[in-house]
Structure formats: structure tokens, C-alpha cells
Structure 1
Amino acid sequence: MKKVCLLLPNGFEAVEASVFTDVIGWNKDEGDGTTELVTVGTRRELTCTWNFTVIPEKILSEVTVEEFDALALPGGFETAGFYEDAFRPDVLQFIREFDRQGKIIASICVGALPIGKCGALTGRNATTYHLNERKRQIQLAGMGANVLPDQPIVIDRNIITSYNPATAFDVAFTLLEALTTKENTDQVKRLMGFQPAIQKGVEGLV
């Protein structure tokens, strides 16, 4: 069984976390059944960006990197206190150890910033939130990353980064494919309704 740690700092965006719980959960029940996800919070109770309250299964001090095969990181808002938790020394050390062991790290939007802050993206290709005058991409570049500003998803060895919340499902499916196979991931996508025929139908309504 491949175990994914969904790391949740306070102030995270619920939608960016939920894609990981759904895709990994769907695979456990409807795919090849080889994945499970554990929610790990920086606190016993977390408040999302817009006041959605979450109680994680475990807190950071109760787990080790060795328990997991991959790390998933949603982004969040500064006004909700995301960076206060995401940049904590214990959080950065946890991320750094995942990278040191070569384990997969998948992030969405500004979830890339704690990865950069811990030093794991130094000299490596990455991206993060690309709008609002590219402020966050400039910040990530200042952490030593080689930012690819217009690429929605960037993969550099074991690290996946993306440039806005709209990429969330694609990042989660990319993680699932890395943990299982393309064939299995395509099957989970089909069962979840991610089919080209449906997308074409929506375009036809415009």
C-alpha cells in the first residue's frame, strides 16, 4: 500500500486539499486499491482560507517521513495565516526530509513556497501562483528555484509544482500516476467523469 501524507498548514485552501483526498480515495475503492491518504495537520484543529474548519487525522509531531511514500501540499492565503504555519521550522524540515529521501512531493499553487523555503527547489525547475503581477513566482525565484512562469505544471525529478488552483485535479492525477500506472490513473479519471467527450459537450454549449 502506498501512503500519501496530505500536509495541512493552517489557512490552507480546502479545494486544493480535497482533490488529493478524492483522487487517492477513488483509487483505493475503485482503482487498483494500492493507495491511502492520511491528513496531517500543523494543529489539532485547522481553519481553512475561508473559515472551513478541519480536524486532521494526525498532527505533524505524531508522524515520520518513513511512514509515507509521497507528500501532498495544498496552497493557502497569507491573510488566513498560511505562511505562518507553512514556514515553521518543523514543517520545512519535514518537507526537506521527503526530498532528501527522493520521495514524491506534489504541490498546488503556493504550496510550492514552503518547498522552496526549505531549500529543496534550489537550482531546480518549478512554478507557483502566476497572477497578481507574478509576486509569488518572484518570491519563489528568490528562494533559488528556476521558475517556469507560463507552464501550468512543472515536474523536476520527484517534485511537482503548479501555478494556480485550476491545476488541482491535474496535479492529483499526476501524483496518482507516479504512485501507480497511467492505465490505472486513466481508469480512475474515467470513473470520476473526466472524459474528453464531456468536455467537448460543454464547449458545444458556448
Structure 2
Amino acid sequence: MKILLLLAKGVELIEASAFIDVFGWNRHYNQIDTEIITCGFKREILSTFSIPIRVDLLIDEIVVDEYEALAIPGGFGDYGFYEEAFDEKFLDIIREFKDKGKLIASICVGALPIGKSGILEGKKATTYHLMGKRRQKQLEAFGVNVVNEPVVIDDNIITSWCPSTAIEVALKSLELLTSPTSSNKIREIMGY
């Protein structure tokens, strides 16, 4: 099974790496074929704090039917995150995953492009909750029922409120895509 890790420039490494590590540990220890495929607008994107990441595919090369789930880590606006995360191509991928009933998981402000895409309207979700709750207010402006909790699941969409939730979101995604047994084993051997 393949999971698309959709990366915008300015992405936070800790949030992207949570999916890579959890699904990598699952592949190795549970021997369940879960593969993370990275995608971006350019072959090399600069993450938050200007660390380069080389992606597997470009956004125009994505065929949604090849994936079981979409993972969207958040990032910093100061490093250009919203320039790409709010691009219509980025939003169209989110909409297509939703239209096909596939799991969509986000961490921190990764919920904002999901909100902007329109698929969270009337649903419960959360996003970054510190520094005056500015990002939660922004999510609410997209018609989202903002819940001030660490991880919120509504339908097949997972959102969370800050980088500290990254591993939890990845483990919950693994559980929903495989089984609670598989997720709990990885949680235990990773020390969570």
C-alpha cells in the first residue's frame, strides 16, 4: 500500500519524518508493505529552516488511484509554506483523495490547505493552537467546527494541533490503514 506524503516548501521536517518513520518501522517489523511516496512542486524543496528535501514525484505526476492515503505535514509561512499549500494543484489533490473516500491525515497547519480545499466545511477539525490561536481562527473561517484537542478525526480526515502530535497522527493513520494490532506493536517498539 502506498501513502502520498504531500510536501509544500517550508514543510517542517519533524512532521514529515513522523510518517516516514512510523510507516518504515511498520514495513520492517510488521512486514506490511506500506510505502511512503514524497511529492512536491519541484524535485528539491526547501523545508523550514532551509533544509533541502528531494522528493520522489512532482505534483503533476500523481495518480490518486495508486494511493491508499494522503499525509500532509504543516510548515512555516515564513518559509513559503502557504504559497504552495494553498495552490490550486495542491488543493485539487486533497479534493480528489476526499472524492475517492481515501484517508487524509494532517499535522498542525497541514489542516489549513484541507480547510481551504472546502472538504472540511461543517466538519470537526483542529490546527495549530498556540500563539493566540490565529491558525485555529483561520481554519474556522473556512467553515470548520474547530475543536481545541490534540488530534481530531471526522469521517476519514485526521487533523492535529502542533508538531508534538506528529507521531500520534502517523500511528493513528497506520491503525486505520492496517489494524490496531499493527499500530500498537509499532507504538510499543518505538517507545510511544
Query: Normalising TM by the smaller chain, what interval?
Result: over 0.9
Matched AA of 1:192: M
Structure 2 residue matching 1:79: 3-state secondary structure = helix
Question: 2:100 matched to which residue of 1?
Answer: 101
Take 1:44 and 1:22, find their aligned partners in 2: how far apart are those partners? 21
Q: Distance in 1 between matches of 2:93 and 2:161?
A: 23
- Return the alpha-carbon distance in structure 1 between the equivalents of residues 153 and 31 of structure 2: 24
Matched to 1:158, the amino acid is: N
1:48-69 per-residue CA deviation (whole Å, 9 max, x = no partner) reads 1111100001111111111100
Check if 1:120 corresponds to 2:96.
no
* Matched AA of 1:42: F
| 1:113-168 C-alpha deviation (Å, 9 max, x unpaired) | 0000000100000000001110000000000100012x110000100000010001
In the alignment, what sits opposite 1:9?
A: 8
Q: Match for residue 141 of structure 2?
A: 142
Determine the C-alpha separation between the residues in 1 that align with 2:43 and 2:175: 31
How many angstroms apart in 2 are the aligned matches of 1:100 and 1:144? 19
Structure 1 window deviating more from structure 2 (177-186 vs 24-33): it is 24-33
Q: Which runs of 5+ in 1 are unaligned?
A: 195-206
Does residue 180 (structure 1) correspond to residue 188 (structure 2)? The answer is no
Structure 1 stretches of 4+ moved >6 Å: none
Which runs of structure 2 are paired with 1:188-203 in the superposition (5 Å)?
A: 188-194=186-192
Structure 2: gaps (5+ residues): none
Give 1:159's aligned residue.
Answer: 157
How many residue pairs get matched?
192
Are 1:10 and 1:43, in contact at CA under 8 Å, matched by a contact in 2?
A: no
Counterparts of 1:51 and 1:45, CA distance in 2: 11
- TM-score scaled by structure 2? 0.98
Larger radius of gyration: 1
Q: What residue identity is the alignment partner of 1:167?
A: T
Deviation per CA, 1:80-112: give whole Å up to 9, x if none. 000000000111001011111110000000000
Shift of 1:189: 1.4
Separation (CA, whole Å) in 2 of partners of 1:147 and 1:163? 10
One-letter code of the match for 1:180? T
Amino acid at match of 1:3: K
Deviation at 1:32, TM superposition (A): 3.9
Give the Å deviation of 1:34. 2.9
Match of 1:74 in 2: 73
Q: Which amino acid aligns with 2:144?
A: A
**Deviation of 1:18 (Å):** 0.2
Cα distance in 1, alignment partners of residues 30 and 60 from structure 2: 31
Amino acid at match of 2:13: A
Give the whole-Å Cα distance in 2 for the aligned partners of 1:42 and 1:128.
23
Q: Secondary structure in 2 aligned to 1:128?
A: coil
Higher mean C-alpha displacement, 10-19 vs 58-67: 58-67
Counterpart-to-counterpart distance in 2, 1:138 and 1:157: 22
TM-score (norm 1): 0.91
Rounded Cα–Cα distance in structure 2 between residues aligned with 1:27 and 1:69: 15
**In structure 2, the residue corresponding to 1:50 is in which secondary structure?**
helix
